Chains A and B, each alone.
Chain A
């Protein structure tokens, strides 16, 4: 197929068009709005058959999604920042009910002060809600992750968040190659919900009162579901590659194999970091980038394997975790490496509220961590690009 010039939001909307979910409840919020503009046009033009429900809030959007999903529908939605925060209560309920759905989260900073630009505080804030999460570097990945995520969610019986950077990815236009409509349809097949509520001959109870005598067992079972989702990720990725010829992986190794120092990052920052790696590799420096694509379930074992033996690792978090020891990605990666080799590892919090991260800044990280191969790390958690 020929590449088309599409924004990240249009790429996501095109994935939704091809998936053609039964129900899409949505409420507009910048920068998610462009996805719903494009999808609503598909609805108005009659090129999709699903029902777009215009609800009165994100709380209602997720509630309607849960209701429709429980009835047996294939469900999708999209949101950003404060919209996701307002959904929160039902976000937790969707995963606890083991309800598959696919939601695009266009990453945007949480208020206050109010800011519409990119950081990961919204989706990182719900890292413990039991949703699976992938982060996309660019428009092509955003498109592919959506199609992958829908099937992954249905196989794992868990909801899936597809995160893309607000404005940087959602509004940036790039060439995107879409798969054939028929291939996407065949890849997904028909959704079969367990015990759909519309199956009136086999009635079940959803969300009953569950106190000290059963709640813990239900949470333990949910936890196991997330654990098993790691294996399912690889299965669906294999199927995806066989169908579309495109690789979905837990992470992308960019010159990491022989690297002594490695930056670990997610999303659009990785595109900038790759340019820096290319530049510094020409100079003969043994540096690399590990782009993490799957954040939940957290691939601790796989990260341990790929980062084993590295001298210094810098983890980039586009999110602050107030009062914690570093950002969420840093603390989880550091914890994953605890039992094996212990490379030196430090954290850079960057890009909050859409603050620019450029090649020079990433190069400065490599300069700094290369020094740590011999020198001690002074500050484990640093703020990159903030005015002192």
Chain B
């Protein structure tokens, strides 16, 4: 992506478009990846409500796959999960 020149930027370093965090792939920072075992999941939604990056999405009361573009791999979901259906795996294992 070509970055804008100084003349194109709003004054004062403002970000005038809301919801732009979506465009920033914080998933790049991740060292550990959460692995979700669907079979053990009870869809209690504790991980969904606890995720600090809103990277766990849900639809119709069911947990969906983790959004790996934005998940920073903090591991809170794995820690909090009552059925221990999330485990953290090193990113280097996927190379």
Q: Which A positions have Cβ atoms within 8 angstroms of B?
A: 96-99, 157, 194-195, 202-208, 210, 213-214, 216-218, 220-222, 224-225
Contacts and interface: CB of A to CB of B under 8 A. Distances in A.
Interface in B1-59: 3-7, 9, 11-16, 18, 20
Contacts of A204: 14-16, 18
A98 B18 contact: no
A217 B14 contact: no
B28 to A, nearest CB: 14
A216 B4 CA distance: 12
A217 B15 contact: no
A217 B5 contact: yes
Contacts, number: 53
Given A98-B12, A205-B20, 17 more contacts: A97-B14, A204-B15, A204-B16, A204-B18, A205-B18, A207-B13, A208-B13, A208-B15, A214-B3, A214-B13, A216-B6, A217-B4, A217-B6, A220-B6, A221-B6, A221-B7, A225-B11
Given A195-B16, A204-B18, A217 B9 contact: yes
Contacts of A222: 11-12
B9 A97 contact: no
A203 B20 CA distance: 11
Contacts of B5: 217
Nearest to B21: A205
B12 A96 contact: yes
A221 B11 contact: yes
24 contacts: A96-B13, A97-B12, A97-B13, A98-B12, A157-B11, A194-B14, A195-B16, A204-B16, A204-B18, A205-B15, A205-B18, A205-B20, A206-B12, A207-B13, A208-B13, A214-B3, A214-B13, A217-B4, A218-B6, A218-B12, A220-B6, A221-B9, A222-B11, A225-B11
Counting chain B residues whose Cβ lies within 8 A of the other chain, the interface size class is 10 to 19
Interface of B: 3-7, 9, 11-16, 18, 20
B15 A218 contact: no
A158 B18 CA distance: 24
A346 B81 CA distance: 75
Contacts of B9: 214, 217-218, 221
Contacts of A207: 13
Nearest to A220: B6
B6 A98 contact: no
B14 A205 contact: yes
A159 to B, nearest CB: 11
Nearest to B8: A217
A234 B23 CA distance: 42
B15 A98 contact: no
Contacts of B15: 204-205, 208
A98 B10 CA distance: 10
Nearest to B7: A221
A224 B5 CA distance: 13
